Amino acid sequence: MSIVEKWAQQLNDLGRQSRPCFFLMDFEQQLPRVWELAAQEVDMPRFSFPSHPETGTPPIGLLPPKLLADHIEAEDFERAFSVVQAGLGRGDSFLTNLTFPVPVQLTAALEEVYWQSEAKYRILWEDNFVCFSPETFVTINQDGYIESRPMKGTALDTPAARKALLNSQKEIAEHATIVDLIRNDLSQVAKKVRVTDYRYFHKIATSRRGLVQTSSKIGGQLPGDWKSRLGDILSKLLPAGSVSGAPKPATLDIIRRAEGQKRGYYCGIGGYFDGETVDTCVLIRFIEKTNQGTHLFRSGGGITARSDWEEEYNELKAKVRIPLSGVTFTLH
């Protein structure tokens, strides 16, 4: 049995017994973890989800953390971008998500970032990473209705920028591709899959004027015994389409060649099963602590044949922010 199959079986067993748990899966599906909440394991991450708000008390005397990001060489990005474009040109992929690790200097520990960041999903795994993600992967309600809400297309939260995003042919094509991919993914595990809300605006808290992304809702009905198959269901949907691309197998090969390194838990998923329902997020907006004690802010976006490398380069930089009012950001 592979490590992913063991992870899936563990979730199946916990689901069958309605035992609450928290779980992680990395992008490459090599480092899966499951923590049963009742066990109170020592290395269990802290997390704050809509269905599981943070109830702890933050440390006394927290100061707003400052983030200093190193310069991202345009030539390095353009080189990786060209690898992606070559794959798109060959027809190997219609959409490829390209990401970069940006070295950053923090004035605070990851724990302090966790307590002071604002996001729909927050996760702190001590000495590993902090994540403040706005993006849902899938949710499953008590009746077995599964829904995904991919987010694609980012812009400043201004009327002009919103209009440009909504009318961009590149963004229109990118969003349609992801929605189609997610619909196909969900059809592997659910019936009556359909899009219920298409390309609506979703606000993202940031340290400046704020960003918006376009999102859609796609859902379907799982079988009645879905809890006893929880791990198998999630495994079939990985990796998340919004942070990989379409079609998945060939696109993942392009990602490996363009990025030249593993993403690790970045662009993986984090999830909470409360015994009756499931809520999961895509691990984006992510600061990782390296083995050398330094930090990387991982960022990226979707690339299509219509993409312009300078626009994508600027979008990547725009995402290197901590979503907290008053946090300073400098890119030099």
Which has more confidence, 58 or 18? 18
| pLDDT, mean of residues 66-70 | 86
Nearest by Cα to 9 from 34, 31, 40: 34
**Six-digit token pair at 72?**
């991202």
Mean of the per-residue pLDDT values of the chain? 90
CA distance 114 to 118: 8
Contact 31, 265 (CB under 8 A): yes
Query: Do residues 282 and 135 lie in contact, with contact meaning Cβ atoms separated by under 8 Å?
Result: yes
HSE value, Cβ hemisphere, 13 Å, CA-based, for 172: 6
Per-domain boundaries in the chain: 3-52+64-331
* Rounded-to-integer distance, Cα 251 and Cα 11, Å: 28
What is the model's pLDDT at position 214? Answer: 81
Distance CA 67, CA 107 (A): 7
Please give the C-alpha separations between residue 167 and each of 79, 170, 171, 242, in angstroms, as whole numbers.
Answer: 28, 9, 8, 20
Separation between Cα atoms, residue 190 and residue 221, nearest integer Å: 5
pLDDT given at position 321: 86
pLDDT per residue as tens digits for the range 191-242: 999 999 887 776 665 444 567 778 889 999 999 999 999 999 999 999 999 8
Q: Which fold is adopted by the domain 3-52+64-331?
A: Anthranilate synthase (3.60.120)
pLDDT bucket at 155, cuts 50 / 70 / 90: low
**Residue 197: its pLDDT value, please?**
87
The single-letter code of the amino acid at 249 is: P
- Average pLDDT over every residue of 50-76: 88
What digits encode the pLDDT tens for the residues 256-304? 999 999 999 999 999 999 999 999 999 999 999 999 989 999 999 889 8
